[in-house]
A and B are shown apart, each in its own frame.
Chain A
Amino acid sequence: MTATQPAPPVPALVEQLTGGLDAPICLTWELTYACNLACVHCLSSSGRRDPKELTTAEAMSVVDQLADLQVFYVNIGGGEPMIRKDFFDIVDHAVDRHVGVKFSTNGYYIDKPAAERFAKSDLLDIQISLDGFDAKTNDAVRGEGSWEAARRAMDNLAEANFGEFKISIVATRHNFDQLDDYKKMADDYGAQLRVTRLRPSGRGVDSYHDLRLTHDQQYGIFRWIMDHPDVLTGDSFFHLNALGKDTGETLPGLNLCGAGRIVCLIDPIGDVYACPFVIHDEFKAGNVRDQGGFAQVWRHSELFAEMREPGSAGACASCNAYDACGGGCVAAKFFTGIDLNGPDPDCALGHADEAVAAAMGTAPKPSQDHSRPVRLTVKR
């Protein structure tokens, strides 16, 4: 072996990925808008079931299409996916067709029998949402009783020897100080911790400004993730890579916006959006019920073709960190009302602060809202 020989030229992988693949690497599939909770930052403004939701037969067909396209795994969410009566049928069919399933749940319906059932499947991965280490912090965001339900689900999974499930937290300014506690909790359960970014999507449009990380916390979380490479992040903090440009540090992951390129979202009524964080007509590419099904939408929608074009650095062109952060998250810009070619509202260098303040109150509302009506009770 001659060590001095240069390696053969490697294709610019990132460019190929941003140019779009024949099928997504993975996608998010929200099975229902029905949810027993009403989290203040819900990406899909879930609550009530939509009468147009996919039937069991249609859902089975979606599984078959994903299997034929060799989509490796699907992130199932909602709403609360376990509310669907055919939830287990859909999951079983996906696993049978060798499409791996990772599903997100609030844990309310993971009783002992459900935990035992899950424990039998190899291709099934569960992530339980918990947005505060203690009940007070969590329930302020996810609703009263939700902390207890999530912990009970974790206990049931552990007791059923499910193996390594995931504990998934959305980082907020209120739970930021609890990251180490969370890590210990996950380790104690033999679980894997997953920390993702808060997006201003769905009901998050209204709660974002109260929950988002401060600039100091952004730096803190960048360091914390670098120090905990075993913690999953869903590649969601790539906008913070600007913080590593002087030290040459990059967060683990692909570090690019995969919307419409390597990921997408199928919503409960079959609409296909560029990513789970942009449920809005402007980012709707088609519907799985259309002629040609999902593959047709993925390969031929005008919207996705446009999103796969090389982007413009826009207002970020003069920033020397642009190569590190790529301008950040499209959804975060869109739902805070700032220019899509401008900086991410959470720009770690603070370059968006003025734009965010100026756009306050002008942000587009999500095109759909399945929130349950607020029941007003009169106190006597």
Chain B
Amino acid sequence: MTTTADFDSTTRWERSPKIGLRPEPFGALAYHFDTRRLVFLKSNKLVDLVDGLANHDSADAAIEAIIEPVDDRSRSAHVKALASLAEAGVIEPLPAAPDIDFVG
């Protein structure tokens, strides 16, 4: 678990619906249509992570599932990257996933 300023990696996040994301050789360009800010996603893994955030209960879980290899170094680097993307509005908090318990 890591908390960087306003970014809480233990909660659920999603890619903001207000951004356009364009694949580029270095990763992707993100453009926020409200703030008109341009943000660089500097690796393809980070792009996958941003796209996959909403499928996981927390940013930490998304990192565990998507980033390889996961070690202290890559964990902290990606939490830091997500924190700056949250600050830029590229990703936004999502309500926690509902607790669905199927009989099975």
Contact = CB atoms under 8 A, between A and B. Distances in A.
Contacts of A73: 31, 36
Given A11-B26, A73-B31, A2 B38 contact: no
A119 to B, nearest CB: 16
B99 interface: no
Contact of B25 (A16, A25, A125): A16
Interface string B76-90: 110110000000000
B26 A6 contact: no
A16 B26 contact: yes
A1 interface: yes
Interface of A is mostly: loop
A70 B42 CA distance: 18
Contacts of A6: 73
B24 A7 contact: no
A122 B26 contact: no
B104 to A, nearest CB: 37
Interface size class of chain B, counting residues whose CB lies under 8 Å from the partner chain: 20 to 34
B42 A100 contact: no
A3 B77 CA distance: 10
A98 B43 CA distance: 25
B29 interface: yes
Given A11-B43, A70-B22, A1 B75 contact: yes
B31 A72 contact: yes
Nearest to A69: B22
B36 A7 contact: no
Closest 5 CB pairs of A and B: A72-B31, A5-B73, A70-B22, A16-B26, A1-B76
5 contacts: A8-B77, A11-B26, A72-B20, A73-B31, A73-B36
